[in-house]
Structure 1
Amino acid sequence: MAYEIDFHPVGSGANSGDAITMRYWTGAEWRVIVIDAGFQETGEAIVEHVRSVYGTNTVEHVVSTHPDNDHISGLRAVISQLNVQNLWMHIPEYHAKNMMDYFHDPRWTLEGLTADLRRAYPIVSEIRDLALSRGTSLHPPFQGARIGPFMVLSPTQAMYEGLLPQFRDTPKPAQQLLVLLGHWLTGIGRRVATEIRRIIAEDLFTETLREGGITAAENESSVVLYGQIDGRNIFLTADAGLRALGAAVSYGTAIGIQFGTALNVFQVPHHGSRNNISPALLNRIVGNVSGFGSRRSIGCVISAGPEDETHPRQVVVNALLRRGVEPQDTKKGILLFNHGVPDRKGFSPAPTLEFATRVEAYD
């Protein structure tokens, strides 16, 4: 089977986001998948891309990885202007019943919590209602679900429901939450932006990327996907953090999925943030440090806005290069990876990001 997968530029200024489109050949027809659609203006560009480049108005699957605006806002245009057959999206209000134990105040009722969750995530509710009005089928993207050629590796439903009370817009639960949520809450908190006050030196043999990093609970709930088409393997991570990625790789390995040199396309999580990847996880995903003379044939994608000066982090770029992986970003336009189809006319690949001896210091 043949495929084309496009990673679209998202955002203006320092904003970054995710938007991915893909078409794949089944042997009888082309089918289209959209995974996130960035901001509203990105969604309009996605609609035009599907129509003009893929030559169709029909999308087999749309996946919303998590409810951050830089991923979900553009899906309104996609759902309203294209014929979307299936929408895969976590809908917080559908989990209200399973969350009631976290809200011990007797003033909380199931109806009240459901309504509050609906109000807390208006874009999710809007997209859900729009999809239903257009006859689109809704599905929950939990571990083990198959979406075209992809399988969901993370999250499980239990993991998602453990993270949802910690989303920044979720109504505040009872104080007993820490005990009730157990290990999935440990180490997860709201992301706090920190100023980079200084830089430090790295060389070819010194890695300062750390093992531990904290990202927002919303990011840890990201839908992580692994696709297999004609013996080629695609790993898409959205904004997943260390715990979600670790769980995804462990589950994938347990069911026989291969990483390392078996990967053909790898999306670096969260725009190349240093909090969402670690040396140990990179070793599990793409392989151990191999040296700059040993190039791995992995298409490595970092979704970063055109003027985003803080993403990707150089410490992450260096870590990838040390493992023989040549990362590219979306700052100058669409990144295209294809197999079994001619190169797209007029399209030229982006340059590989370069190693630097000066990287961001941790505060």
Structure 2
Amino acid sequence: MAYEVDFLGVGEESKSGDAIAIRFGNLQGSRDEQTVVVIDGGFTKDGESLVTHIQKYYGTSVVDLVISTHPDQDHINGLFAVIEQLDVKNLWIHKPWDEPYGLADLFDDGRVTDNSIGERLKVSLEAAYKLVKLAEEKGIPVQQPFTGLSLGNVKVLGPTEDYYKSLLKDLDGMPKPKRAEDSSFFEAFAGLEGFAKRAMEWIVSKWGEDKLDDDDTTSAKNNTSVITQILVDNNRLVFTGDAGITALDAAADQIDACVSGAKLKFIQIPHHGSKRNVGPSVLDRLLGEPVAQGETRSITAVASSAKQGEPKHAHKAVLNAFTHRGAKVLSTRGNGVCHYSGSPAREGWSPKDAEPYHYKYEDEA
């Protein structure tokens, strides 16, 4: 089987996003011999581009599966156009308002009930709620993507239902938990991120030196991201959304337990290449330990970043860390990227050079 993975160019200025189209199977055969998957749709306007891309390059208006990794606007808003304009057969998206998991007991306010938490989640996750309603109106089956859910060669590696539940109390709009330490970190981080423009300094790097740590400092919402695996023959393709270290480590457990014998061929660099989402230990698990300079592995890693997203997206320390582990690293910088295997090159598309090693770069002081 062959496959194509398309990252549409999202982010004309500094705001990055994800809009990903994938097809695999006999790409020279009929539509029935292929599977088309969409993972996230970028901002609202990116949805139109995604629809056009699938119709033009995949020659179809039928999408077998749409996956919404999490309800940030740079991931979910474009999916409305996909649901409205294409023939979508399945939607995977979390909908915690339907069953708020007995969360009322976790909060200080005794007036809080599971029903009121469900209503809060509809407001907090409004785009996801509206997307589910649109899909239901169109008769599209909706499933919650927890670990183990699969459709053919597509499988969810994370999050587990229990881990997802543990993150809900830290989402925006939730009441104060009974113990401040349960959510104080995520709330404080979410409130402080971007509060002030920090001073910049030049970082000097040398081969094999990861300028990253193993602390998970991403938000609760980002850690709810669906992590997806697609197996095409003996190739493993992994899509990470905005997942952080804790979520990625659990996904690595699932990969370790896989008996298919598939080798990692492609991985999405989480959260547009943010420094807060990966560390040396989890990268060693997912890609392998660092290689000698000049050595490579047959792995492509792509960060979906805005044209003016640097230094945050994609962070040079993250690009270097993937390069240390032998991956061919690409950063979209607002342009479309197609990674493919077994399919002919497209007319008008040319190969993209791997990211150079960054020996000196700017970073927040």
Q: Residue 141 of structure 2 corresponds to which residue in structure 1?
A: 137
Residues 56-75 of structure 1 mapped to structure 2, 5 A cutoff: 56-75=60-79
* 2:123 counterpart (119, 122, 133): 119
Q: Distance in 1 between matches of 2:186 and 2:158?
A: 16
Q: Distance in 2 between matches of 1:346 and 1:353?
A: 21
Q: Residue 218 of structure 2 corresponds to which residue in structure 1?
A: 215
Residues 235-250 of structure 1 mapped to structure 2, 5 A cutoff: 235-250=238-253
| Aligned-residue identity in percent | 34
CA contact 1:306–1:332 (8 Å) conserved in 2: yes
Q: Secondary structure at the match of 2:200?
A: coil
The residue identity in structure 2 corresponding to 1:154 is G
Q: Distance in 2 between matches of 1:159 and 1:208?
A: 28
Does residue 263 (structure 1) correspond to residue 264 (structure 2)? The answer is yes
Q: Residue 174 of structure 2 corresponds to which residue in structure 1?
A: 171
- Give TM-score, length-normalised by structure 2: 0.91
Q: Distance in 1 between matches of 2:152 and 2:47?
A: 21
CA contact 2:102–2:114 (8 Å) conserved in 1: no
Q: Distance in 1 between matches of 2:96 and 2:180?
A: 17
Q: Distance in 2 between matches of 1:94 and 1:360?
A: 45
The residue identity in structure 1 corresponding to 2:220 is A
Q: Residue 339 of structure 1 corresponds to which residue in structure 2?
A: 341
Report how many residues are paired.
355
Residues 175-190 of structure 1 mapped to structure 2, 5 A cutoff: 175-176=178-179, 178=181, 188=186, 190=189
CA contact 1:298–1:326 (8 Å) conserved in 2: yes
Deviations 1:246-291 (A, max 9, x none): 11101221233668xx211111111111111111111111111112
For structure 2, the residue ranges without an aligned partner over 5 or more in a row are none
Q: Residue 4 of structure 2 corresponds to which residue in structure 1?
A: 4
| Stretches (4+) displaced over 6 A | none
Q: Secondary structure at the match of 1:136?
A: coil
Q: Secondary structure at the match of 1:153?
A: strand
Q: Secondary structure at the match of 1:166?
A: coil
Deviations 1:295-347 (A, max 9, x none): 11211111101121221111111222222222111125221122222111211
The residue identity in structure 2 corresponding to 1:92 is P
Deviation at 1:201, TM superposition (A): 1.4
Does residue 198 (structure 1) correspond to residue 232 (structure 2)? The answer is no
Deviation at 1:204, TM superposition (A): 2.1
Deviation at 1:56, TM superposition (A): 1.1
Q: Distance in 2 between matches of 1:157 and 1:263?
A: 25
- Give TM-score, length-normalised by structure 1: 0.91
For structure 1, the residue ranges without an aligned partner over 5 or more in a row are 180-184
Deviation at 1:292, TM superposition (A): 2.3
* 2:34 counterpart (30, 36, 46): 30
Deviation at 1:361, TM superposition (A): 4.9
Q: Residue 182 of structure 1 corresponds to which residue in structure 2?
A: none
CA contact 1:47–1:81 (8 Å) conserved in 2: yes
Task: Check 1:9–1:327 CA distance in 2 against 1; reply closer, same or farther (3 A cut).
Answer: same
Q: Distance in 2 between matches of 1:196 and 1:88?
A: 41
Deviation at 1:97, TM superposition (A): 4.2
Compare 3-12 and 25-34 and name the one that shifted more. 25-34
